Structure 1
Amino acid sequence: MKQYTIFRYLYIYYSFVFILHIINVFLESEILNYIIGILAIIMLAVSFSGATRLFKLLGSIFIAIGGIVFFGSGQDFWMIPTFLTSNMSLLTLLAMLPWMNSVVKSGRFDRSLNQLLNADASDLGKLYPGSSFTTLTLASFLNLSAVTISQDVLNNTLRKLNKEVRNSFISTATLRGHTMALLWSPLEILVALTIFHTDVEYVVLLPWLLLIVVITFFLDSLWGRMHYKKYTYENNVSIKQGVVNRKALIKKILHLLAALALFLMLVIFFGIILDLDFIFTVTILIIPFSFCWALLMKRTRSFWALGWGTWKTSTNTMQNFVVLFISLAFFANSINETSFLNFIQKPILIFADYPLLIFFIIQLIFITMSLFGVHPIATMGILSGVIIMLLDFLNPLSLAIVLVTSSVSTVTVGSYGLIVQITTMNTGQNPYQITLKNLPYALVLGGIGSVIAYLLL
């Protein structure tokens, strides 16, 4: 009973740490960062007992390997707290996501999406392209929240289906649709990093990225129709021609897209004015924007009722994420202080005269590193020295295409990545199941990018 009481009020402690982190993003205080690191140790200790067996195992492995590397590199013991805070922005964003979902539900946009996803689909094969495209469209405006919104809708729409089939459908349609949105978005950090490293202008890169999106969407939709057409399902929403007001449905969707477009414009504006990264800007704007949106729709009561309860429940059950991301931060930061980075760079330089092979090696490095919990941003940093050398004899545009497609493709297969973990939370699947299901897609997406990049040499 005592343990139950503790976990009922975890949201208070978590929120306190997240607020300190938000404050410190503006202050950039090393002292406050160190305090947050100490609080992160307490978060890890408190959350460990509430985490599932899988995440306890993963956390233990990351801490053990990170500890061996940390002490082996001669670091001072008192520096450990500074190695634990790099993923705090991801945890803070996770805590904020329920508020955006709540305003969407309070405005009953999820019902409209439900109708849209159900339209003219008698089997899952016909439903697949629409589900993927809906996630792609929403993710272009809403990024991470689009995944949870689409998955919530599909969980409800397909609730009568076999759980394994339902989870497979959700983890392929939504994650793949999300990556296709990230691939061309100027707000995606991986796109921005690629442009920074290669000095290729976005307007030059954009047409080729859109071409890759079109090709990938066509091939994936074709696969989805063939793979899922054998599964019929009962439509949970009556959408017969005489029943649904399609004009009202279109108006509702346009309202949603307009709100999401406004949200992104505000993110861009405040990101530039305050010089903040995209993820953090989204995090601090979610609550005020959601409240103002609910106010304009005259849905503030339902917004607070849905939001408060959902947020408390979600935050109180973040133990898996806390254990994963704090231990992963320790592991990744410890590795970054060693000569391991040089080991990653060597295979590429050996095949300098074979550009297509180099492109495939880059793709495999991104995917392999993501399977071991290394974020593609970190992998991009690891490869930065090699990228400079490759620019001496490779077309910068070709290299930029490979870097974008290779890094973004890992979103669907990074077992410890944010999107896969959100899907794990929403479907109850093992993250490795999601990874295996999407691995062929990640390889094909990266392969398309590599082939197009090679043809442009």
Structure 2
Amino acid sequence: MNIRSHHYLFFTCVVALYLLSLIINHYLLHYFLAFATIILFAMSFPYASFLFRLLAGIFGSIGLALLFIYPMAGMETILYVNENLSLLALLFMLPWMNSIVRAGRYDRRINELLSANVSDLGRLYQRASVTSYILVAFINLSALSLSQGVLKENMRNYELQLQQKFIVQTTLRAFAVALCWSPMEILVAISVDATGVSYFTMLPWLMLVSFLTLTLDGVVGRWRYRAISYKAPEKTVSTKGILKPISILTGALSLFLLTIVAIGNLFELNFILTVTIVIFPFAFLWAASVRRIKSFLAVGLPVWKERNNHMQNFILLFVSLAFFSTALNQTPLLETIQSPFLAMEDTPWVVLFMIQFTYLLMSMIGIHPIATIAVLIEAITPLFAAANPLSFSIVLVSGALATATVGTYGITVNISAMNTGLNPYRITWMNMPYALLYGGVGTVVAILLL
């Protein structure tokens, strides 16, 4: 039997145990959950990429070293691995929202915008950015390959270097800003949980950062490519026909957010847990309302299995980070990590820039922003009492997502490299000004809110 093809079954058991432990708060159940999590970690290790095995090894080894150096509470230390299970549960459920968009064929209809008639590449740049932005907001990473494939076909008559540059800039940049305010983005969820700032307090400011960055890049892109004429494919579509699916998706997202508010307030649940438990029922009822339940399940079940059979990288990262960060919190070593940031307590705007550049630097050497944010949160938490936590939450999100365009070893850059044939290092160099712009816009907005 191929263990990896059935990995989702044990992952399902762990998530179910975690949700049960929230209802039945018994110490034996928590220990049983911890042992199950460790088994899941061990099962995932052989199938994870080298980079994530290395990161898990580093965080796990440091955590174990801290246990030996500093006395801690005996057997209770095993429970440290449970601390990030809420994030894994969210990742476990996310494919279902992707599936309803695909089952309803909204992604295909919206992607037809890329075939609509425009006169030059400057206008196509804006069209491609907006189309990718809309798709990413609903189907996340799947939108990247989808939009890149359509653009590659539409631009097949152009010079290869121009194709590559255009496709990588429009799609990757839109991807990074579209996730800035998404309630289904894991980095947003982590920031909400860490800073204690309500998602709906963050939302208008994250949307401002997102739209402002998208607009600035669109203006520059239109100016840069305006002189290159564009001949649309023979099959063109009317943009009026695209308005209906866009309206449906916008309405669905608004209703999803309202549902999160209602459920969260009614049952007094935190943001991450609320999103996790709302996703599947919401997606199922959406499918029922448009009479696409069969399509939803036919598309969704295989995708859900496939995604959760390949979740090994994140399982290693989140479990090892939970163990490391919880152990670190019990030691005086935490104060050493916090000291450079606390030294800037009187100038919190400097700390905001430090956060942004820490993300960029770590992404250059292959450190995932989730790993970076975990350490940053431990370092800056004492500053929340001296400065507006909202400012920190904005930079934690915008700084992290800016790396999606430049992280040489990141999944988005490498997917784009495979789809376009462009070297990942070249993509990093090409998008670095944009990453600085994106992070800079987020930091400036955050400074104004201090």
**Structure 1 equivalent of residue 262 of structure 2:** 269
Residues 178-219 of structure 1 deviation map (CA, whole Å, 9 limit, x = unaligned): 22668xxxx96636865759xxx95xx887766544542333
Q: In the aligned structure 1, how far is the partner of 2:434 from the partner of 2:449? A: 23
User: How much has 1:424 moved relative to structure 2?
Assistant: 6.6
Q: In the aligned structure 1, how far is the partner of 2:229 from the partner of 2:50? A: 35
Select 2:146's aligned residue among 153, 156, 159: 153
Taking only the aligned residue pairs, the percentage that are identical comes to: 34
Q: Is the counterpart of residue 413 in structure 1 residue 395 in structure 2?
A: no
Q: In the aligned structure 2, how far is the partner of 1:272 from the partner of 1:424? A: 40
Q: Mapping of 1:43-442 within 5 angstroms?
A: 43-76=40-73, 78-120=75-117, 126-134=123-131, 136=133, 145-158=138-151, 160=153, 170-179=171-180, 190=191, 196=197, 202=201, 212-222=209-219, 224-225=221-222, 240=236, 244-351=237-344, 356-364=349-357, 371=367, 373-374=370-371, 376=373, 379-380=376-377, 382-388=379-385, 390-391=386-387, 396=388, 400-401=390-391, 403-413=393-403, 440-442=433-435
Q: In the aligned structure 1, how far is the partner of 2:57 from the partner of 2:425? A: 17
Q: With structure 1 as the length reference, what TM-score do the two structures score?
A: 0.76
User: How much has 1:293 moved relative to structure 2?
Assistant: 1.4
**Structure 1 equivalent of residue 19 of structure 2:** 22
Q: Classify the secondary structure of the residue corresponding to 1:12.
A: helix
Unaligned runs of 5+ in 2: none
Q: In the aligned structure 1, how far is the partner of 2:62 from the partner of 2:129? A: 38
- C-alpha contact 1:413 1:435 (8 A) present in aligned 2: no
User: How much has 1:238 moved relative to structure 2?
Assistant: 6.1
- Larger deviation: 105-114 or 216-225? 216-225
Cα gap change, 1:347 to 1:402, in 2 (>3 Å): same
Q: Classify the secondary structure of the residue corresponding to 2:47.
A: coil
- C-alpha contact 1:171 1:434 (8 A) present in aligned 2: no
Aligned residue pairs total: 427
Cα gap change, 1:20 to 1:364, in 2 (>3 Å): same
Letter in 1 for 2:401: V
- C-alpha contact 1:113 1:153 (8 A) present in aligned 2: no
Instruction: Please give the root-mean-square deviation of Cα atoms over the aligned residues, in Å.
Output: 4.2
Q: In the aligned structure 2, how far is the partner of 1:435 from the partner of 1:91? A: 29
User: How much has 1:39 moved relative to structure 2?
Assistant: 0.5
User: How much has 1:447 moved relative to structure 2?
Assistant: 3.1
Letter in 1 for 2:105: R
User: How much has 1:278 moved relative to structure 2?
Assistant: 2.3
Unaligned runs of 5+ in 1: none
Q: In the aligned structure 1, how far is the partner of 2:316 from the partner of 2:225? A: 35
Cα gap change, 1:54 to 1:262, in 2 (>3 Å): same
Q: In the aligned structure 1, how far is the partner of 2:29 from the partner of 2:225? A: 52
Letter in 1 for 2:31: Y
Letter in 2 for 1:410: A
- Larger deviation: 217-226 or 88-97? 217-226
- C-alpha contact 1:89 1:280 (8 A) present in aligned 2: yes
Letter in 2 for 1:276: L
Cα gap change, 1:270 to 1:133, in 2 (>3 Å): same
Q: Classify the secondary structure of the residue corresponding to 1:58.
A: helix
**Structure 1 equivalent of residue 440 of structure 2:** 447
Q: Classify the secondary structure of the residue corresponding to 1:75.
A: coil
Q: Classify the secondary structure of the residue corresponding to 2:48.
A: coil
Letter in 2 for 1:175: A
User: How much has 1:322 moved relative to structure 2?
Assistant: 1.7
**Structure 2 equivalent of residue 6 of structure 1:** 3
Q: Classify the secondary structure of the residue corresponding to 1:298.
A: coil
Q: In the aligned structure 1, how far is the partner of 2:229 from the partner of 2:47? A: 38
Q: In the aligned structure 1, how far is the partner of 2:64 from the partner of 2:223? A: 47
Q: Classify the secondary structure of the residue corresponding to 1:276.
A: coil
Q: In the aligned structure 1, how far is the partner of 2:258 from the partner of 2:135? A: 15
- Larger deviation: 281-290 or 436-445? 436-445
Q: In the aligned structure 2, how far is the partner of 1:36 from the partner of 1:363? A: 36
Residues 299-349 of structure 1 deviation map (CA, whole Å, 9 limit, x = unaligned): 111111111111122222222222222222222222222223322433345
User: How much has 1:82 moved relative to structure 2?
Assistant: 1.1
Residues 156-184 of structure 1 deviation map (CA, whole Å, 9 limit, x = unaligned): 424657897656654332013322668xx
User: How much has 1:279 moved relative to structure 2?
Assistant: 2.4
- C-alpha contact 2:60 2:324 (8 A) present in aligned 1: yes
- C-alpha contact 1:402 1:446 (8 A) present in aligned 2: no
Cα gap change, 1:426 to 1:259, in 2 (>3 Å): farther
